[in-house]
Structure 1
């Protein structure tokens, strides 16, 4: 009986000791009033977000399906894709290509394929959100929950052929997506055109809340970030490293 008591006491002590290394639960996903870490400011978080936008090139476009009554206007296409009924108002998120071709504004450039669900939904009146997250390149293990991710809430704006030609959008876009050369505007496969996602709102999760900012970034902060600021920082796991350094 005495041995059991000793073992139970040792187990309790080891459990208590292990728990002391864990962050306080309320600090994991929210900004605490005090922290042992220096939490980035809103502007510093905007710079991080703009660097993620610059280095990544694939994101998720989220839209909602139109009501069944409005879909009736597109009956031949709905029949062709065999879309189930009752999807009106349901959200759908789909992967798509983007490029950071307008660094002065931070508005992502997208090659819109007219037949794609995301763009058909927008044409029917849907709002649209572009969501992306940072993928480390150093080959080390990183907690995905402690890495930056964010959503850009905005609206699509058509880019004219003359503006696209003047700003060399095709060259910029194909640099990030060589395969997209097959469906540039004027191709024989799909009808396509250039659009920009005009950023209206930004929701940011920089990582765990005791060491990163979590919340809204004003669009003025997003637009004010300079290329010099973007080039001056490194994201977690961007360069070769070992271990869980972003936790320390």
Structure 2
């Protein structure tokens, strides 16, 4: 005989499914977002959740387009990605700040074609059940831009607070030739979870930067509860 917990979860999921069917479909694969909600997630709320994700994660997959200098040009045009640290820029909140070596393939590729993307997914905290296909994730598309010299001292402090081991990679530390870059965001694609329950679609940069990440913590808690019920 099923337990009371199992029955409760079954009823909750059934109610969520019925509610989702009664609501307009979530923005999906670039559909218009104006006036459309996904079980309470508006375009503006999704922007706040995206800001939280960028602020709290600190690691993502940086992707570029291979240039002609590798493998005798046989890989030219292929996408290339590798994991990298970043922080939410202290000077411009919402903008990823990165410390990258000139030896990295992504940096070499960006010198030929400066079209990059940074994919970020929510990382489960200790004791939390994570599911990468259900948890929120996003892709930021844009350009790598060298950081102004006047901002580098604050960038170093901000970066090392998030990633203490990075103190060994700071410019002038004697390690590889690392330099500061920020990702100039042009487009944002956000996947909150399952469509119909969570927002899926493009978020315009103006709405993203206007959103205050700290103001969306309560909605993020509700978002996590919905995500748990769909697992």
Question: What TM-score comes out, normalization by structure 1 length?
Answer: 0.73
Matched, 1:102 2:118: no
SS of corresponding position for 1:151: strand
Question: What is the match of residue 53 of structure 2?
Answer: 52
Note the residue ranges of structure 2 that are not aligned, 5 or more in a row: 1-12, 32-37
2:34 corresponds to which residue? none
User: How far, CA to CA, are the matches of 1:244 and 1:225 in structure 2?
Assistant: 22
> How far does residue 141 in structure 1 lie from its aligned partner after superposition?
2.8
Equivalent runs, 1:213-224 vs 2, <5 Å: 213-224=199-210
Residue aligning to 2:166? 180
Pairing 1:193–2:179 present: yes
Instruction: Map Cα deviations across residues 2-43 of structure 1 (whole Å, 9 max, x no partner).
Output: xxxxxxxxxxxxxxxxxx96969x9899489xxxx6140111
Q: Which residue of 1 aligns with 2:116?
A: 128
1:71-150 equivalent positions in 2, closer than 5 A: 71=69, 83=71, 85-102=73-90, 104-137=92-125, 139-150=127-138
- Please say if residues 136 and 237 of structure 1, whose CA atoms lie closer than 8 Å, have aligned partners that are also in contact: no
Partner of 1:15: none
Q: Pick closer, same or farther for the CA change 1:231–1:104 going to 2, 3 Å.
A: farther
Query: Which of these residues, 225, 228, 231, is aligned with residue 245 of structure 1?
Result: 228
Q: Is the 8 A contact 2:64 2:80 kept in 1?
A: yes
Q: Choose 184-193 or 201-210, whichever is displaced more.
A: 184-193
**What is the distance in 2 between the residues matched to 1:112 and 1:44?**
32
Change (3 A) 1:23 1:84: farther
> Number of matched residues?
208
- Matched with 1:206 is 192
1:112 Cα deviation after fit: 1.8
Q: Which residue number corresponds to residue 211 of structure 2?
A: 225
CA contact (8 A) 2:134 2:227 kept: no
CA drift at 1:126: 3.9
Could you say what the CA RMSD is over the residues aligned between the two structures, in angstroms?
3.3
CA distance in 1, matches of 2:78, 2:211: 35
Spell out, residue by residue over 1:178-223, the C-alpha distance to the aligned partner (whole angstroms, 9 max, x if none).
Answer: 1111111112121111111011100011000021011100111111
Return the alpha-carbon distance in structure 2 between the equivalents of residues 213 and 227 of structure 1.
16
Aligned residue for 2:106, secondary structure, equals helix
Partner SS for 1:40: coil
How high is the TM-score relative to the length of structure 2?
Answer: 0.77
Check conservation: 1:147, 1:236, Cα contact below 8 A. no
Shift in CA distance, 215/85, structure 1 to aligned 2, threshold 3 Å: same
Of 170-179 and 94-103, deviating more is 94-103
Hey, what's the Cα distance between the residues in 2 that align with 1:130 and 1:225? 20
Structure 1 runs of 4+ aligned residues shifted over 6 Å read 20-24, 26-29
Q: Residue 74 of structure 1 aligns with which residue?
A: none
